[in-house]
Amino acid sequence: MLRQYELVERVKAYDPDADEAALNRAYVYTVQKHGSQKRASGDPYFSHPIEVAGLMTDLQLDVQTIITALLHDTVEDTLVTVEDIEEHFGKDVARLVDGVTKLSKIEAMPENERAAENLRKFLLAMSEDIRVLLVKLADRLHNMRTLHFIKNPEKRQRIARETMDIYAPLAERVGMYEYMREMQALAFKELEPEAYKTIANRLEELRGRDGGQVDAIALKFKQALAEAGLKVEVTGREKHPFSIWNKMSERHVSFEQVTDIMAFRVITDTEADCYAALGVLHRTWQFLPGRFKDYISTPKTNGYRSLHTSLMYENSMRVEVQVRTHEMHHRNEFGLAAHWAYKQHDKADGQVGWLRDLIEIVDASHDAEELLEHTRMAIYQDRIFAFTPKGALFQLPKGSTAVDFAFAVHTDLGLACVGAKINGRHMPLRTQLSNGDVVEIIKGKGAEPQLSWLGFVVTGKARASIRRAVRLKEREEVAAIGSKLFDTIAARVPARIGKKAIRLALERLGMDEPDDLMYAVGASKITDREVMEALVPGCTANFDEDDEWSKHEREISIRGLTPGVGFELAECCHPVPGDRIVGLRRMGERVEVHTIDCLELASGIDNEWLDLNWGSRSHGAVGRLSVTIYDRPGTLAEMAGVFAQNKINVTSLTQTQLDHPFTTYEIDAEVNDLPHLTRIVSALRASDAVAQADRI
C-alpha cells in the first residue's frame, strides 16, 4: 500500500504546484472514515482507495482527481455525506465523488445482459466529467486485481461478467487500452477458467521449448535498428491468453494455428524515426502483406496513433510489431486520460470538460458510424436514464416525470398508473426523475389518466396518450347519458326495440356503432324525432312539430304584458314557470323575462321594468343546473339516469370543472315548472353519484 508521503511525492513529481496539504488531509480522512473496515483480502479497507489514487497518479491526473480517488467509497460505505466532503474539500471534489458514487449504483442493478450496451451508454451519460469515469475505471481495475480474494464464486462471476461486458468496452471507448486489456485478462481467467488454463499451459510449454524467445527477438530488433543509427526502446510480450482465445474463436482456429502470439513495441523519439524504423524492419525481415496499417497519418477515431505491421521471424513465426513515439504511446495506452492530463499540464486551457475532449475526437473522426456514436453520447447530456425494478433501462428527456416513465414502459401501464415508488420510496406521480432512478409504477384498478397530468408530462407519447384517454372517457360518459335517454325515446315508438332494430337504425343514420348513436343522443347532436324515425320510419308522421316529447309540453304565457308584445325567457337566469319574474323592456326589443333575483337586471336599470306573472297554464322551460359528481366510472351515467327517470330532457351538458375526485357539469334541462325543477334537484342530491346539485 502506498504510504502517505509516497503518494504526495508521486503527485509532486509531475505537478510541483500540487496542494500538498489537501492531499494529506484526504489521505488521513479516508483512513479515519473507513476505520477498521476490512477488504475480502483481510487488508484494511482504506488500502483500496489509496491504491486507486495510486493508479490515478500513474495517469498524472490533477490533485482533485487524486483526492476523489481517495474519497470515492466514503459516501457509499461510511457515514460521510456529500455535504461533509464539500465542507472539507470543496464543491468540485464533492461533485466528483458524488458522480463516482452514482456510477457505483449501476453495480447494484440486477444483471441483464441485453442491457449491457445500454449500461455503457448510461455510464457515459453519467460521466459529465471524464475524471469521474477515470476514477470509476481505476476502482474497477483494482477490484479486479483483488477479485481472487472474494470467496463467493457467484459474486466473483458476476463482477467478472460485468467487467467484461461493461467496463472493458468502456475503457476501450475512451481509448484506455491498458486498462481494457488488464480487465479482460483478469475477467477471462474468472469466466473461462478451463480455457484460460489450457492456453496458459501451452504458452508455458512454448516458453520451455524456445527458452525466452520474447527477449531474444526484442534484442535482435534493437540491434538491427541501432545499426541503422536509430535510438529506440523495444519491448516484447506474449499476448495474453484472452487475446489468443479471442483470435481462436474469431477465426475458428486451434491454438497451433494462432501464430502471432508475440507482440513487440518499438518506441522512438520522433515521428520521422517511426517511419525510419519501420523501413529497417521491413528490409530486414519479410513482412506480411495486408497487415500493415498506418495509424500515424490516419489516427483512429479515439485518437490512437501507431504503425502496425506483422513480420515473419525466422521463416516460421509471425510476430506483430507496433511502432510509435513515447508521447503517442502514452496517449494510446491511456486514451482520454492522457489527453486530459496533457491538457492540464499545458495549463493553457484550464478546465477541459469531458464533452470538449470528445468533440475534438469527433472532429478528427473520418468514420461516419463512429461519428454518429459519439454524437449520440453528446445528445445523452440532456437525457436521463431510469430503470424498471427488473433493470430494464429507459431513456427520457430531462424533466421527465414518473408518468412519462410509465408511458415509456408501456401505454397500458401509463393508463393504469396511480402512484410511483422511486428508489423504493412512494413519490407523487409528478416527481421529476433523476439519472439512475429505479422507478416502480403502481397500477390501480379502474384508474384513469387525469387531465391535470398534461400540466407536467414532457414526453409526446404521454401527452398524446393522456389526451386520447381523456377524450375517450368523455365520449364514453356522454354515450352513457345518451344510452339512458335513448331508452326513453325507444319506449315511445310503436315497436319493441331490440338489437336488430338498432342496427337498422344505425344504417339509416349512416353510423357504425351503437356507441356512435348513444353519443349523438347524449350530446344532443340528434333530435328525439330523428331517432324515432330511424328506429321506425314514418312513426312520427302524425306528430306536429310540437308533438315531439321534449317540446310538446311547452306552453308559456305571461300575464302583465300588453297583448301582442313578444317576449323571451332570459338565457342568463333561465326562469321556469313558478319563479317570480320581472320583465325588462329595452328600446325596440322583445321583453326579456328574468327571475326577480337575476343579476343581469342591473344592466337594465334605465329601462322599463314590468311586473309580470306566469299564465295559469304555463309549463315547459329550460332550467340550468350545476351538478358535481364523484369522479369515478359510472357516476355520470347514474346522473343521467336520474334525469331520464324524471322524464327530463337534457339539452346541453358542459364539463366546467375537473377537480379530482370531483367533476362539475353545467346542465340545461327542460322542466315543466319550478316544482318539477325542485324535484329533480332533490332527486339528484339523493343520488350516490352526486356530491352537490344546485340550480344556477
Residues lying near Mn ion in the complex (CB under 5 A): 73, 139
Cα separation of 374 and 358, whole Å? 7
Based on CB atoms, which residue is closest to Mn ion, 73 or 404?
Answer: 73
Q: Give the CA count within 13 Å in the CB-facing half-sphere of 399.
A: 8
Based on CB atoms, which residue is closest to Mn ion, 73 or 178?
Answer: 73
Nearest to 173 by CA among 208, 125, 245, 205: 125
- Which strands form 662-671's sheet, in the order they lie side by side? 649-659, 662-671, 621-630, 690-695
> In degrees rounded to 5, what are phi and psi of residue 292?
-80, 130
Q: How far is the CB of 2 from Mn ion (least distance, A)?
A: 15
Based on CB atoms, which residue is closest to Mn ion, 49 or 175?
Answer: 49
Under a CB-based contact definition with an 8 Å cutoff, are residues 559 and 613 in contact?
yes
Cα separation of 308 and 306, whole Å? 6
Cα separation of 248 and 188, whole Å? 14
> In degrees rounded to 5, what are phi and psi of residue 590?
-70, 160
Instruction: Measure Cα distances from 464 to 264, 454, 467, 614 in Å.
Output: 60, 9, 5, 52
- Provide the grid cell at 331: 496517449
Cα separation of 80 and 97, whole Å? 11
Cα separation of 104 and 113, whole Å? 18
Based on CB atoms, which residue is closest to Mn ion, 144 or 480?
Answer: 144
Based on CB atoms, which residue is closest to Mn ion, 68 or 465?
Answer: 68
User: In this structure, which amino acid lies at residue 455?
Assistant: G
- How far from chain centre, in Å, is Cα 672? 58
Based on CB atoms, which residue is closest to Mn ion, 107 or 597?
Answer: 107
Q: How far is the CB of 72 from Mn ion (least distance, A)?
A: 6
Based on the residue annotation, tell me whether 77 is a catalytic residue of this protein.
yes
Query: Which run of H or E residues covers position 278?
Result: helix 271-284
Q: How far is the CB of 139 from Mn ion (least distance, A)?
A: 4
Q: How far is the CB of 134 from Mn ion (least distance, A)?
A: 13
**Using H for helix, E for strand and C for coil, what is the string for 73-116?**
CHHHHCCCCHHHHHHHHCHHHHHHHHHHHHHHHHHHCCCCHHHH
Cα separation of 422 and 406, whole Å? 12
Q: How far is the CB of 73 from Mn ion (least distance, A)?
A: 4
Based on CB atoms, which residue is closest to Mn ion, 139 or 333?
Answer: 139
- Sort residue 415 into left (φ over 0), alpha (ψ -120 to 50) or beta: alpha
Which long-range CB contacts under 8 A does 196-205 form with residues at least 24 apart?
196/241, 196/242, 196/245, 198/255, 199/241, 199/244, 199/245, 199/255, 200/241, 202/255, 203/238, 203/241, 203/244, 203/261
> In degrees rounded to 5, what are phi and psi of residue 308?
-120, 135
Residue 193: is the preceding peptide bond cis (ω within 30°)?
no
Nearest to 2 by CA among 39, 80, 55: 55
Q: How far is the CB of 52 from Mn ion (least distance, A)?
A: 6
Q: How far is the CB of 71 from Mn ion (least distance, A)?
A: 10
Nearest to 133 by CA among 142, 145, 123: 123
19, 43, 77, 294: which is the annotated catalytic residue?
77
Under a CB-based contact definition with an 8 Å cutoff, are residues 388 and 378 in contact?
no
Q: How far is the CB of 49 from Mn ion (least distance, A)?
A: 6
Q: How far is the CB of 137 from Mn ion (least distance, A)?
A: 11
Q: How far is the CB of 113 from Mn ion (least distance, A)?
A: 24
19, 20, 76, 271: which is the annotated catalytic residue?
76
Based on CB atoms, which residue is closest to Mn ion, 73 or 437?
Answer: 73
Under a CB-based contact definition with an 8 Å cutoff, are residues 690 and 639 in contact?
yes
Cα separation of 542 and 393, whole Å? 69
Question: Dihedral through CA 422, CA 425, CA 427, CA 429, nearest 10?
Answer: 40
Based on CB atoms, which residue is closest to Mn ion, 139 or 533?
Answer: 139
Under a CB-based contact definition with an 8 Å cutoff, are residues 667 and 625 in contact?
yes
Nearest to 284 by CA among 220, 230, 219: 220
Based on CB atoms, which residue is closest to Mn ion, 8 or 137?
Answer: 137
Q: How far is the CB of 99 from Mn ion (least distance, A)?
A: 13
Q: How many CB atoms lie within 10 A of CB 687?
A: 17
Cα separation of 333 and 59, whole Å? 10
Based on CB atoms, which residue is closest to Mn ion, 73 or 357?
Answer: 73
Q: How far is the CB of 64 from Mn ion (least distance, A)?
A: 17
User: In this structure, which amino acid lies at residue 299?
Assistant: P
Q: In the complex, which residue's CB is closest to Mn ion?
A: 139
Cα separation of 648 and 576, whole Å? 14
Based on CB atoms, which residue is closest to Mn ion, 182 or 477?
Answer: 182
- Which strands form 417-422's sheet, in the order they lie side by side? 425-427, 417-422, 439-443
Q: How far is the CB of 147 from Mn ion (least distance, A)?
A: 13
Cα separation of 446 and 423, whole Å? 26
Residues classed as catalytic: 76-77
